[in-house]
Structure 1
Amino acid sequence: MDFYRKVRAQQDQVDDGTLKVSVFTEDGMRPVENALVRISYTGESGQTVDEVRTDASGQTPVLDLKTPPLEYSMEPVEEQPYAEYTIQVEAEGFENTEIAGTQVLPGVQAQQAVKMAFRAETSFERLVIGPHTLFAEYPPKIEEAEVKPVDESGEIVLSRVVIPEYIVVHDGSVNDTTAPNYYERYRDYIKNVASSEIYATWPDDTIRANILAIMSFTLNRVYTEWYWNRYKFRVGGMNK
């Protein structure tokens, strides 16, 4: 989005949403207490909207923040349907951390996790969240054949539905063998995909239907077309 559209979007804040920030150590195992959390509009980091500290659980209070009108996220429009906020976090013994582009929609609570590295030679880390896929103009999806060849012989028939604990995410094009692979928890993967493809303002049934479609598509990739071909997959646990 160009600069002027972003400015107009930030000025058109007439509804309200909420934001809760969770601050943890880099490994995600320990909450960071008494961290100073500053909230500002992205692009206006010098103008603090709110400033709070985390409690013993590393949580901030629920913050009320301005957002664009609800109707922007219910129908396709040119206006940005969410407000973008920058979160700056400081804590004794940790590197200062900044996350730019946290998206807050009207009438729902956004949750932003912040992981802080223990202080080393550097003292600042900045992460930038890209625009939502429903709003920005991303490259089209790479075309794929509806039926892909299977190079392996044999067949596995499961006696029940098995949900993997981990899946492998290939960070690049299908044919890019140099791109890294990451092991991600299945639940976290589904949550992250859903949050980038669905607006939280949508009706509950619509959100559930989309998440079921995401789950179905993912499991189809895991157990059929991609299991034998290019990717390896590990079942670290099973859920009924």
Structure 2
Amino acid sequence: MSKVQQRVWIKHLIILLVLFFIPLLLWLGVWQLNRAEEKKIIIERWDNAPQLMNRLPELSQAGKVKVNLTGQIIQQPVYLLDNRTRNGQVGYELVVLFQPEASTSLVLVNLGWLKAPRTRQQLPQIVLPKGPISISGRLVSSTKPMQLEEDTWPVADVVRVQSIDITRLQQLHSALYKAVLLSEISLVSNLEVGWPVVNMSPERHLGYALQWFGLALVLIIGSGLMLWGSLKRRAI
């Protein structure tokens, strides 16, 4: 293959790549814009969600309503969700059983995140509130993540677990409600609350959209300059 043929072949290849990647990058940008709009709708829907006072919703409505319950925290056992990070720090999420006054069902409540002690052998010191309290927040389903080996739960007052297994807990507590309440108020000292309604904010989706559109623009300008240079050489 001569040098002229090589240059022609390379130019055709570049044109094919440009024709493929520009539509792809534009599609990715539009997709991110659509995702941003979807997340905005989800957040607005949650902000305007109705609030239930002292009753649990049907499971199909669990994540669509705000819940406020009055009752008591069952002091033992306490579950520590392992390997939970916030702001680059490793810690636990504190999950307890809660008995609402107006229901026979027990509810799992995630009270928030706390920093882990320096060593794995040491567990956090936890003092739970006693007596009637009010808890409000959002109900979410608990999914069991993929694990390399079975999670062993010791019989103890404080149990360190890798995930909240609702099915497993129902064998211990038959009246357990099949969702976890994320508390929006810190009820224990040194606990951090705050749970995003969506896994990625609309602003991040918009940022990704700008990146995709920016790459498409760079590719359009680059291919235009390449075409202009080729035409200029032919004119000479």
Coarse TM-score class (shorter-chain normalised): under 0.3
Give the structure-1-normalised TM-score: 0.19
Structure with the bigger RCO (C-alpha within 8 Å, sep 6+) is 2
Give the structure-2-normalised TM-score: 0.19
Whichever of the two has the greater Rg, that structure is: 2
